[in-house]
Each structure stands twice: as structure tokens, then as C-alpha cells.
A and B are shown apart, each in its own frame.
Chain A
Amino acid sequence: MTLTHEPIEGEHFIVVSETTGDEWEIVVGLEVHCELATTTKLFCGCPNMFGDEPNTNVCPVCLGLPGSLPVLNENVVELAMRLGRALQCSVEPSVFARKNYFYPDMPKDYQVTQFDKPITLDGWLDLPDGTRVGIERAHIEEDTGKNSHAGGSGRIHGADYSLVDYNRAGVPLVEIVGRPHIRHPEQAKTYIDELRAILLTTGASDAKMEEGSLRVDANVSVRRVGDTALGTRCEVKNLNSLRSLGRAIEYEARRQVDLLETGERIKQETRHWDEGAGRTRPGRSKEEAEDYRYFQEPDLVPLAPSAEWIAAIDAAMPPLPAARRAALALASGLAPTESSIVIAVQRDLDQLALSTIANGADAKRVLTHVEHNLSADGVAELDPASFAELVSLELGGQLTATQAKTVLAEMVTSGRAPSDIAAELGFEAMDSSELEGIVDGLIAECPEEWTEFCGGDDKKRSKLQGFFTGKIMKATKGQADGKAVAALLEARRAERL
């Protein structure tokens, strides 16, 4: 089995069978659990805090002690609605349900969640590549505690004893159920990136995959290219990074194609990704899975946010990544899928770019700097007018691209004007006659190399161009403009021929 091509964003990821030559398409739907950034837990006043001493942020309610009752944290509802609206979902009257199963990290041996009536329904998430991924629902539920197992393999089976930390029990989660509209491992990663940007923008979550505040499960299936029916899916869990997510989807798709090609059936099951081994392993199969016996949680009342509340959330909604990309595309004349635009928004530098462009700077040059020479942090000192001035110095030939980069770095740390920095560093415009003199002198000094440069093949010429450019940069202490040097060398060569 081979891949027809390397994964490219936006294209379908096709798996071609070595034996039959058949082409298969990957279909992925992601389920994301994220912890909401509230100060207290979902149903009690305990702190919602990561990394504290075990079992210190607990009370009768989140420990599920007999007689205790849950009281819904209103801020959870606020954040869930913000997220839902950011995902273009409708806010619906909802109810809580109990999902019943026994597990020691779950204090009540049921999880309070939303089942048939979730708080938000039916929206979408637009990816930078233009793909629209449907969102089936996003609902509120409580997190479980955390088990740790001593002795044996570190798993529950064979452990000498197990410890449970209930600090996380009752932490508010939102589960975002995406539709199976993803066709590519890279696209899955982009979806998570984009979702994370929305979670951060709306303040719903800090969305840290490494701390477990954002957890991803992937439903993966394959089908022959051209088929419209969905194949049998497997749910892949234990994906702790974007890298794992991409690798796991690719592995799982290949595994399924192998099975189908040999006439076997895919068993619908949960599989765990083993990052070390680079493969998925079966967990419990859905056929033998527990019956969760969902029913409406009688300790909570139905939830029906008022139209005013929803309107207030909409009114306060910050600009979302897709809209920000569109705004930057409009201002720059580039496509919203352009990498510099995607990155500018990802790094939260789009406002700076827009303001700089509004100050008259060349949009493409601004975005190039944003993409290559600026990071998300520490641009507070950078003022759009100075940034625009820098770009104009550069385009006016007073600074080379390399010099502009150096000046920009200094502007970010000191906040000083670009012209001052350039003067201090001795970056002065070199007039063309001065450069011509240096180039001609060099040609005279190195006649053999020059002859080879003029007559050699492309490969040789390219090598010698590097040789001459390096010498000129050395002689000008880096002040020469690389493009001007190249143009001059080419002009002299043409004269000689």
C-alpha cells in the first residue's frame, strides 16, 4: 500500500492499495472535550484548578457524598453558550442526564452530562483551507477524577493498589461533537488548531492539550473513493498531541484498508493510540460496551437561557478567526487561505498588521514580516506607524531585507523609531555607483571565477553567484541589497557575452 502523494492541506488523503490499486478515502469526525476556564467547578464552589495537591479541592458535592446535591454554576452556562455561538450553533432549552457506569474515578458512579437535549446544536467550523466542518452539538458535562496505579504495568490491571485524586471530579467540560467532514490527518490537526483559537478567543478554555484541558478522540473510517455511505468507524483515544492525532488517523486508516482489502470487516470499537509503538490497540468493543442507562438528572432543573442572555452573548462576541482572516484578506488583497494571513491570525498579530497597512504600508511586505520575523509574544512595543515607516524605508531601498529584519527586531525590544536604529547600526543606503565599484573591483580580482560564472552551466553559476555575493556582503559589511547584487552581476555577465 502506498500513498498517492504526501499529505497536502485541503486535498483528500487517498490511500492506494498495493495489491488492487483501489483508492480509499479517509473519513474523520472529532470529539473534543475541553475544560471550561471557570474559577469554580460545575456543581459546587470548589476551585477549578490544575496541579494542586491531590484531594484538596473537594467537598461533599464533588465527592458525591450521600445526600449531597448539585447546583449548576451559571458561568459554565455562559461559557458553553459563548463557545456554542462561536461555532454557529443554536442555543436550545436543555436538560441534564445521568450516564450510569461504574468506575472508581467517578464519585457517584454516574456522570452528569447532557444526552438527548444538549445546550447547543448544529453549527460549523470553517477551516483556513475553506473546508466547513459541521458541528453536531456541544454540550456540558462533568469531568471525572484521576486514577493512578502503583505497581504492575501502571495500568489498572495488575496494579498493587490504585489511588484516586478527585480534584478534577466535577470540573466543567464541554464536549464538542464534530461531524465526519474531515478527510485528511493534516485537516484534523488544523481543525483542532482552529477550535483552540476559538476557545481562547471566547475565553471558554485555556485549551492545553498537554495539561489535558483539551482532549481529542478521533472517529476514523475509510471508504472507497466515490462511495457516499460511511464505513464502520473506530474511535481512537489517548491522543495527547496534534502529532499523535495525525499519526493515529493515518495508521488507523491504513489498518482499516488492509482489513477491508483482505475481505475482513471492521469491528466498531474503541482503540487506544500507542505513541511509542506508533499503532492503535483495541480497547473495549462497542458490542460488549456498557449500557449507560441515560435518564434525566432529577437533581437538576431544565435549563432555558433567556433570549436576552443569548443576545448579550452574541453582542459581546469577539471577532473569530475566520472573520479576522477575511478582514486581513480584504485589506491586503491576498486570499484568506494565504499562509501569512493564517499565521497572522494564529499569532494574534492581525490587528497590528491591519493598523500598519492602514498607516500606508505595503500589505504583502507587512505580512511577510509578520509571518517570518515576528512572534506572538512581545510585540506590545511595536507601534503600527513605526512599523509602516520601516516597510517604507525597506521598499524605498534605504534598507535591505536583511537590515529591515534586524531593525524590526530592535524595534520590538526598544520601541524606538526605525530610522534612529538604522542610523545607529550604520545601515545607510548604499548608492548604486558605490556598489558598482565594489562589484567591478571584485571581477577584476577574481578573473578565473568570473569566467566560469559567465560561461558555466546553471549549477556552476549558481554556486559562483554565492561566492561573489558572499564576498560583496563581506566588503560592504552586509549593507548591500542582495537583489541589487544579483541584478548587477547578471547585467555585467550580459555585457560580457
Chain B
Amino acid sequence: MSSLPITAIEIASAVRSGSLSAREVLDDHLSRIEEREGEIHAFNLVMVDEARAAAAAVDAIVAAGGDPGPLAGVPLALKDNLCTRGIPTTCSSRILEGWRPPYDATVVQRVNAAGAVSIGKTNLDEFAMGSSTENSAFGPTRNPRDIGRVPGGSSGGSAAAVAAGFAPISLGSDTGGSIRQPAALCGVVGVKPTYGLVSRYGLIAFASSLDQVGPFSTTVADSALLLEAIAGHDNRDSTSIDSPSPSLLESLDGGVDGLRIGLVTELMGEGIAPDVAARVRQAADALTAAGAQVGEVSVPAAAYGLSAYYLIAPAEASSNLARYDGVRYGMRVDAPTTAEMNAATRSAGFGDEVKRRIMLGTYALSAGYYDAYYGKALKVRTLIVRDFERAYADFDLLLTPTSPTTAFRFGDKTADPLSMYLNDICTIPTNLAGHPAMSVPFGGGADGMPVGVQLLAPALAEATMFRAAAVLEAAAPALDEVWS
């Protein structure tokens, strides 16, 4: 094993000072990929040539006395639903076969401009629909902690890449928990920022009103670093908040003294594995010990989040995914008429889960059903926002499990979509509210697999959330500490 620095902050600092070259860092990570990617399958594509060119460019800037930026020479993995100019972007779907975007997503532009070295496109559940990466058209990603288990999803590849040491940081997208749940299952940090804080331009849409790009990392500070680099207004995204990128690193050590933190009662009982709930209580104790006032809080509408989500997200998806019709790009299955060609292409190009959600969403928006389904779901969404507002009147942050269980085994939930959907019960409410949330590793479960605890914050309160995350990180029991 090499003795090179591991975290993004250490790497960037060493590269910027000239004591370490981006090429050395890259070679180190490529060798780790070489070693384990065969069994993990974190990537749909490892961009060896592009990464070497990017690393050389970083080294040239340093050699010329310049500053490549805050992510100088840091290898970074990109979820394969982020558009990369000239490089295949698949969403782990057959339907985008052969398509190379003519442009970079805003977040890709920003990490490149910050000196990061993009090393590959990571696997995901097709079009980010799933919680295990088992819905990828290119085969599942395996959990680096136990390759018999799923890494979570949909950003399973990005979580596994960081957990396996393929890259210290990666980008994922979170529509209903797709960053936080795999972060929890893989034992890494994962953040879903406030809706609108990070540009969605170039993120291939699943559910536009819920999707948000965010970081994965091994440390809380690295996520803060990466989020600072990608956040901030983008005039190509109308839903982008018109505010500068937040300062997270400078207040990271601020602690939680005096912060009021609420343990959400609805997400601590039925459906939550006892070992996971126990770790969350332990995390609450750690926050109390650090000076926070921890109390219980009820967010009643959160219980309906899952139902509302599985109407709103598929409804938007049914429209967002209409464009994959075989006319302009990607797969085409020829047929005598245009309509038959559309149908044949979509039948062959989409996997079962994508088809299921398109049908669900189409139904929810249909004349005669709109009010009962989509319309009602929007009302529930409003209620959830209101309940959170009430909770945040009394608390600065909320605390819940990230996932009801630790990583499960392949095939455990594929036969029953509903049991798979229940994985997102703790993460979905924040997407519906548009609030930020993050998962922080906090010891292991009864099976020795990582447990993640989730911190939730009101809109744009990322800085406070990161302070609490840093406290939890410092207090977290080791993964191999015996669970009692």
C-alpha cells in the first residue's frame, strides 16, 4: 500500500505546494482501480487517457508557478448521469447507447476548473431509479465492504468508488436518497444540498423538482471542500438559487454547543432495524455530549413522504424520459411507422424498473386520475414542507437514520419493488421539502456493515449541518467496534 495522502484536502494541498504531482496521485488511484475494479464494478468507464491529460495539465500549472485550484490533482469520480463532453454518458441505460454529449454539465465544468482530475463515470441504477444499483443495464456494483452485498443506490458506483479508495471524492445525484443511502451502506459521507444550491444543468433528469447533485467523500471536510467547489448560482438553471457558494470549511470546527437537534420520532420506530436505531441514539448522545440540546420532534407528514414521492417522481420521470424515442440519439429499433419505432426502441432500451415508473407516472398524470394521485401528492408535499417548518421553529437540525437497514444482499429486494422503495423512507422527505441533508458514517450494525446517520437542516443551512457532521465524525465508533 502506498503512503500517499488519502483525503482530497491533503492531496490538493500537497499538489498545490508542489510536493506531490497530480500524475503520482493519479497513478496511485489507477493502480487501486486496477486491483479491485474487477470485483467492485464501480465504473461504467474509467477515463484513463483524459485523466492523464488532466493530471498533466495540473502539474504544468504548478510547474509554471500557478494555482490549479482547490481540488488540484484530486481524482474524482462522476456519476454516469452527468454529461461529459465527448465522453459516453449512459445513465446505465441501453437507450443512450453510443451517445456522447456535446457539452459538460456545470458541475463537471466547475470541478475541472477547480483542478480535479475526473477519472471515470460511475455505475448507477438505470436513470437513477433504484436503491441498490441492481437496476443498472450494465450489471450491479458491489459493496467494497462485502462484495456479497449491494452498495445502495442509485449512486452506488460513486459511493463504492470512494469506499474502495478509487477516488477520494465523487459526485452523485440525490432524488429520494440516492446519495445518502449508498453513502450509509458503503460507510462514507454523502450530502444532498439544498435544492437549487447546485446547478442541475447537464445532470440528466430523473425527477426535476427533486434531483440535486452532491458530493461523496471519506471525510466530512472533503465533502465540504467539494460542495464549495460545485455550489453557487448558474444562469443556465432557472431553479438555481441566486446566491454565492456557501463557506463550509471555515466554520467546520464550530461544534454544536447550544444547537438544538431533534430526533424525528416517526423515523425511529417501525421499519427501522434495531441496530440502526441504536446507532442513531448513540449519535444523539454524542451530540449531547458535545453540548447540543437533543430532543424528540414529530414530523407527522413525513410518514406520507414515500407515497407522495412515488407519485411525483415517476410523474416527472414519465415526461423527462419521453425524449428517448429513437429519433435523435441513442438506441433506435427500426419499425414500419414512427410510433412503432418509438415503442420498439423504448421497449428494448429501458429496463423493467424504468418502465414501471414511466407507467406509474403516466397513470398518475392521466385525465381523471390527476387529482386523486398527482394532485394529492402535491398537497402532501406542501404538508411536509409545513411540518418541517414547524420542526425547525424549535430545532436547528434534525437527526434520523439514513437507511432503515445496513447493506442488504443481492437479490434480497429485487422481487418486491415495494420493499426496495421502503429503503428511502428516511431520505425522501427532505427531497420533497427541498432541504439539505447528509449521511455520516457512525459505526457498524449487528452484521458489521456500516451504519449512516442522517442530519437534516432547513434550506441553505448547510454550514450548521456540516458542523454537526464534523462532531459526529469525530465521535463515531470504529466500524469493527463490537455492537452491543
Could you give 12 example pairs across A and B, Cβ below 8 Å?
A65-B101, A65-B103, A67-B83, A67-B101, A100-B365, A102-B325, A104-B325, A104-B327, A107-B323, A107-B328, A162-B338, A293-B319
Cα–Cα, bound, A102→B367 (Å): 17
B238 touches A69 (CB 8 A): yes
Interface contact A60-B103, CB-CB below 8 Å: yes
Flag if A295 contacts B83 (CB, 8 Å).
no
Closest to A292 in B: B367
B87 within 8 A of A: no
Contacts A66-B83, A291-B367 given; indicate if A109 touches B325 (C-beta within 8 A).
yes
The segment out of B41-49, B185-193, B195-203, B449-457 that lies at the interface is B195-203
- In the complex, the answer to whether B327 meets A164 with C-beta atoms within 8 Å is yes
Q: Check B319–A71 contact: CB distance below 8 A.
A: no
Chain A contributes a number of interface residues (CB within 8 A of B) equal to 31
A293-B362 contact given A109-B325, A301-B239, CB 8 Å threshold: yes
Annotate B302-316 by CB proximity to A: 1 below 8 A, 0 otherwise: 000000000000011
The answer to the question of B415 belonging to the interface, with a C-beta cut-off of 8 Å to chain A, is no
User: For A231, what are the chain B residues with a Cβ–Cβ distance below 8 Å?
Assistant: none
A71 surroundings in chain B (CB, below 8 A): 235-238
Q: How far is the CB of B294 from chain A (nearest CB, A)?
A: 36
Does B238 lie within 8 Å of A70, measured CB to CB?
Answer: yes
Q: Counting CB contacts under 8 A, is B322 at the interface? A: yes
Contact partner of B322 (CB less than 8 A), chosen from A63, A65, A102, A157, is A102
Q: Within 8 Å CB of B105, what residues of A?
A: 67
Q: Contact check: which of B101, B337, B342 meets A66 at CB < 8 Å?
A: B101
- Is B319 a contact of A295 with CB atoms below 8 Å? yes
Nearest CB on B from A71, distance (A): 5
Residue with the greatest number of chain A CB neighbours at <10 A, chosen from B202, B203, B315:
B202
Contact in complex: B102, A65 (CB < 8 Å): yes
Is A279 among interface residues, defined by CB-CB distance under 8 A?
no
> Which B residue sits closest to A104, measured CB to CB?
B327
Contact A66 B201 (CB under 8 A): no
Q: Is the CB of A298 within 8 A of B316?
A: yes
In the complex, the answer to whether B204 meets A67 with C-beta atoms within 8 Å is yes
**How far apart are the CA atoms of A156 and B101 in the complex, in Å?**
29
CB distance A67 to B203 under 8 Å? Answer: yes
Per-residue contact bits, chain B 230-242, to A (CB 8 Å; 1 contact, 0 not): 0000011111000
In the complex with contacts A67-B105, A67-B205, A108-B323 CB distance below 8 A: yes
Please name all residues of chain A whose beta carbon is closer than 8 Å to the beta carbon of B202 when the two chains form the complex: 67-68
A114 to chain B, nearest CB (A): 15
Please tell me if the beta carbons of B238 and A300 are within 8 angstroms of each other in the complex. Answer: yes
The complex places the Cα of A249 from the Cα of B137 at a distance, in Å, of: 54
- Give Cα distance in the complex from A301 to B200, angstroms: 14
- Mask, A150-178, CB within 8 Å of B = 1, is 00000011000010100000000000000
Residues from chain A with Cβ under 8 Å of B208 in the complex:
298-299
B204 touches A108 (CB 8 A): no
Q: Which residues of B contact A294 (CB under 8 A)?
A: 365
| Chain A residues closer than 8 Å to B327, beta-carbon distance | 104, 164
Give chain B residues whose Cβ lies under 8 Å from the Cβ of A110: 319, 322
With contacts A291-B366, A295-B374, A299-B239 taken as known, whether A66 is within 8 angstroms of B89 at the C-beta atoms is yes
Q: Is the interface of B mostly helix, strand, loop or mixed?
A: loop
B101 near A69 with CB under 8 A, answer no
Residue among B328, B329, B342 with the most chain A CB within 10 A? B328
- A-side residues, CB < 8 A to B, are 60, 63-72, 98, 100, 102, 104, 107-110, 156-157, 162, 164, 291, 293-295, 298-301
Considering only residues 198-256 of chain B, those with a C-beta below 8 Å from chain A are 200-205, 207-209, 235-239
Residue of B nearest to A66 (CB): B204
Residue of A nearest to B102 (CB): A60
Within 8 A of A (CB), among B81-139: 81-83, 89, 91, 96, 99, 101-103, 105
How big is chain B's contact interface, by range? 35 or more
B339 contacts chain A at the CB level, 8 A cutoff: yes
Q: Give the A-B contact count at a CB cut-off of 8 A.
A: 97
CB of B168 to closest CB in A, whole Å:
25
CB distance from A228 to the nearest CB of B (A): 29
The answer to whether residues A293 and B365 also contact, given A67-B101, A71-B235, A71-B238 and a CB cut-off of 8 A, is: yes
On chain B, the residues within 8 Å of A299 by CB distance are 205, 208, 238-239
Contacts of A70 in B (CB 8 A): 238
Are B322 and A100 touching (Cβ within 8 A)?
Answer: yes
A206 to B: closest C-beta gap in Å: 28
A109 to B321, CA, bound (A): 9
CA A188 to CA B103, docked complex, whole Å: 48
Given A109-B322, A298-B316, A301-B238, residue A67 in contact with residue B374 (CB < 8 A): no
> Which residues of the other chain, A, contact B82 by a CB distance below 8 angstroms?
67
Known interface pairs A108-B322, A293-B319, A293-B362; A298-B209 also in contact (CB < 8 Å): yes
Checking B91, B329, B365 against A295 with a beta-carbon cut-off of 8 angstroms, the contacting residue is B365
Q: Is the CB of A104 within 8 A of B338?
A: yes
| Contact A156/B83 with A67-B202, A71-B235, A110-B319 known, Cβ cut-off 8 Å | no
Contact with A along B168-200 (1 / 0, CB 8 A): 000000000000000000000000000000001
Collect the chain B residues with CB atoms within 8 Å of residue A300's CB: 238-239
Query: Considering the complex, which residues of chain B in the window 365-385 have a beta carbon less than 8 Å from any beta carbon of chain A?
Result: 365-367, 370, 374
> Which of chain B's residues have a CB closer than 8 A to the CB of A293?
318-319, 362, 365-367, 370
Bound-state CA distance A69–B204 (Å) is 10
Return chain B residues, CB-CB under 8 Å to A64: 323
Residues 319-366 of B contacting A (Cβ, < 8 Å): 319, 322-323, 325, 327-329, 337-339, 342, 362, 365-366
- State the Cβ distance, B417 to closest chain A Cβ, in Å: 22
- Residue on B with the closest CB to A60? B103
A-side contacts of B99, CB under 8 Å: 66
In the assembled complex, the Cα of A162 lies from the Cα of B339 at a distance in Å of: 13
Shortest beta-carbon distance from B199 to chain A in Å: 9
Say whether B342 contacts A65, CB under 8 Å.
no
Q: How far is the CA of A110 from the CA of B318 in the complex (A)?
A: 11
Contacts of B91 in A (CB 8 A): 66
Alpha-carbon separation in the docked complex, A63 to B237 (Å): 16
The distance from the CB of B43 to the nearest CB of chain A, in whole angstroms, is 19
The listed residue (A66, A69, A98) touching B319 by CB distance below 8 A is A98
Query: Which residues of chain A are near B362, meaning CB under 8 Å?
Result: 293
A64, B208: Cα distance in complex, Å: 14
Least CB distance from A3 to B in Å reads 40
B217 to chain A, nearest CB (A): 24
CA distance A242 to B388 in the complex (A): 58
Contact between chains at B342 and A102 (CB < 8 Å): yes
A108 to B103, CA, bound (A): 18
A157's nearest neighbour on chain B, judged by CB, is B337
Nearest B residue to A294 via CB reads: B365
- The docked-state distance in angstroms from the alpha carbon of A60 to that of B100 is 12
* Chain B residues whose CB sits within 8 angstroms of the CB of A67 once the complex forms: 81-83, 89, 101, 105, 201-205
User: For residue B339, which residue of chain A has the nearest CB?
Assistant: A102
Contact A68–B201 (Cβ < 8 Å): yes
Complex Cα–Cα for A72 and B99 (A): 27
Q: A149 to nearest B CB, angstroms?
A: 10
CA distance A107 to B91 in the complex (A): 19
User: What residues of A have a CB within 8 angstroms of the CB of B325 in the complex?
Assistant: 102, 104, 109
- Distance in angstroms from B241 CB to nearest chain A CB is 11
Q: How far is the CA of A291 from the CA of B318 in the complex (A)?
A: 13
> How far does the Cβ of A61 sit from chain B's closest Cβ, in whole Å?
8
Q: What residues on A are CB-neighbors of B209 within 8 Å?
A: 298
Q: How far is the CA of A60 from the CA of B323 in the complex (A)?
A: 13
CB neighbours of A156 from chain B (8 A): 338
